[in-house]
Amino acid sequence: MPPRTYGGIELLLSLLTEELVRRGYDITLFASGDSKTKANIVVATEKALWLRKDLRSPHAVITRLLRMVHDRRKQFDLIHNHFDFFMFSLLISNDCPPVLTTLHRPIDEELARVARSFPKMKFCAISNDQRQSAEEKGLEIIDVVHNGIKVQDYTFNEKPNDYFMYLGRLNKDKGVTEAIYAAKEARVKLIVAGNVAGGDEWNYFLHEVQPILNDEGIQFVGQVGFEQKVKLLSDAEGILFPIDRREPFGLVMIEAMACGTPVIAFNRGSVPEVVVDKKTGFIVDDKEEMIEAIKEIGSIKRKDCRKHIEQNFTLNQMVDKYEKIYKKLT
């Protein structure tokens, strides 16, 4: 942390960690050894798992990490877990401090089932829609904390270039092929940036995505670092977000709007909480409506996009709310 390329959770956790240190908290961060932080760091693996190409047993590293947290548990007033169900078993110990888990991903029935088996776990959602999804599956959510970013790190651009952008995982859930087809039918240029993780995603990428990446008007740039990401977002006329799942938040949407770049997104999950329809972008139901919205992108004032993020999705707002939750739990 922070991530070299793609990694919304890693980016947010890095921002949260460094801001808590700046505010005077004694923070211990469990992360890979190639992380950059001012917190005390405990290293379970020298390099991030996705960089260890020879690694055959990633869950062995995760189990070691769990042991490392468990052995140090009495040092902490609170453990803030961003690593899903992997850390739930900390609460098997009766003397574990409070554990707060931020739910970053969609909640399926298996995740809900294991979460319900740890009644002492405290859960935080990252959108009201995610809270509703969790409560539908029998989980108690103590609060909602929207993701926040350092807006000053995102370059505002009033005069973009003539292309749209897709940024995210290159899989079916994120809707990369829908974005490509929408751009082609709207006859606009599209830059595609993102990564692929895991066998199922590679299979989808090779059979569904790669064959259309070389089509006219489509430029594939692969994984991008933070500075290149901000440059691409700020220069884009708009970002296409044809999400095909109940999206918990969608960090790329606030990153784009911080640059002044409007968002055209499918109406799934948290999207109506993040995008103001017809003011900071367009909320649409399908590809055909996305094509029409592409044609209307000039009606969105880019200053309104930036202002929306400055007012609602800043790092300080996020950390202020987490501080209140920490105080409640300790």
The domain locations on the chain are: 8-148+315-329, 151-312
Q: How much is the pLDDT for 214?
A: 85
Would you say residue 6 has pLDDT above 80?
no
Handedness of CA 269, 254, 274, 289 (dihedral sign): negative
Averaged pLDDT, 130-159:
97
Residue 65's pLDDT is what? 93
Superfamily of domain 8-148+315-329: Glycogen Phosphorylase B; (3.40.50.2000)
Task: Quote the mean pLDDT of the chain.
Answer: 94
Cα Dmax for the chain? 61
What pLDDT, on a 0 to 100 scale, did the predictor assign at position 48?
Answer: 84
DSSP calls for 150-165: -GGGS---SS--S-EE
pLDDT of residue 79: 97
Whether the predicted pLDDT of 326 surpasses 80: yes
Phi/psi for 259 (5° steps) reads -85, -5
Which sign, positive or negative, has the C-alpha torsion 246, 188, 235, 262?
Answer: negative
CATH topology for 151-312 is: Rossmann fold (3.40.50)
What band does 235 get if pLDDT is binned at 50, 70 and 90? very high
pLDDT given at position 55: 80
pLDDT of residue 165: 98
Residue-wise pLDDT for 107-130, tens only, equals 999 999 999 999 999 999 999 999
pLDDT tens-digit profile of 237-284?
Answer: 999 999 999 999 999 999 999 999 999 999 999 999 999 999 999 999
The predicted structure's pLDDT at residue 160: 97
Handedness of CA 24, 27, 33, 35 (dihedral sign): negative
Task: Write out pLDDT tens, residues 223-233.
Answer: 998 999 999 99
Q: Please, which pLDDT band fits residue 7 given cuts at 50, 70 and 90?
A: confident
- pLDDT for 50 equals 78
Radius of gyration of the chain (CA): 20
Q: What are phi and psi of 122, to 5 degrees?
A: -105, 130
**Residues 6 or more apart from 28 whose CB is under 8 A from it?**
39, 40, 41, 42, 72, 75, 76
Per the model's pLDDT, the better-predicted residue between 214 and 74 turns out to be 74
**Spatial CA neighbour of 272 closest among 247, 300, 290, 245:** 247
Please state the pTM of the whole predicted model. 0.93
Do residues 29 and 41 lie in contact, with contact meaning Cβ atoms separated by under 8 Å?
A: yes
- Structure confidence at residue 3 (pLDDT): 82
Would you say 234 and 255 are in contact if contact means Cβ atoms under 8 Å apart? no
Cα(314)–Cα(255) distance, integer angstroms: 11
Asked whether residue 185 carries a pLDDT value surpassing 90, the answer given is yes
Whether the domain at 8-148+315-329 and the domain at 151-312 fall into the same CATH topology: yes
Report whether pLDDT(201) > 90: no
Q: Give the per-residue pLDDT at 100.
A: 98
Asked whether the predicted pLDDT for residue 51 surpasses 80, the reply is no
251-258 and 226-235 helices, crossing angle to 10°: 60
Query: What pLDDT does residue 305 have?
Result: 98
| Alpha helices (H) along the chain | 8-22, 58-71, 109-116, 128-136, 176-186, 199-204, 210-213, 226-235, 251-258, 271-274, 287-295, 302-312, 315-329
Q: Are 234 and 154 in contact (CB under 8 A)?
A: yes
Extract the tokens encoding 10: 């890693």
Q: Is the pLDDT of residue 4 over 90?
A: no
- pLDDT band for 53, please (50, 70, 90 cuts): confident
Q: Is the pLDDT of residue 199 over 80?
A: no
Q: Are 280 and 257 contacting, i.e. CB atoms less than 8 angstroms apart?
A: yes
pLDDT of 47: 86
User: Cβ contacts of residue 287 below 8 Å, gap of 6+?
Assistant: 178, 181, 182, 185, 242
What's the confidence (pLDDT) of residue 180? 97
Residue 8 confidence (pLDDT) above 90: no
Per-residue pLDDT tens digits for 146-172? 999 999 999 999 999 999 999 999 999
Helices 287-295/176-186 angle, 10° precision? 50
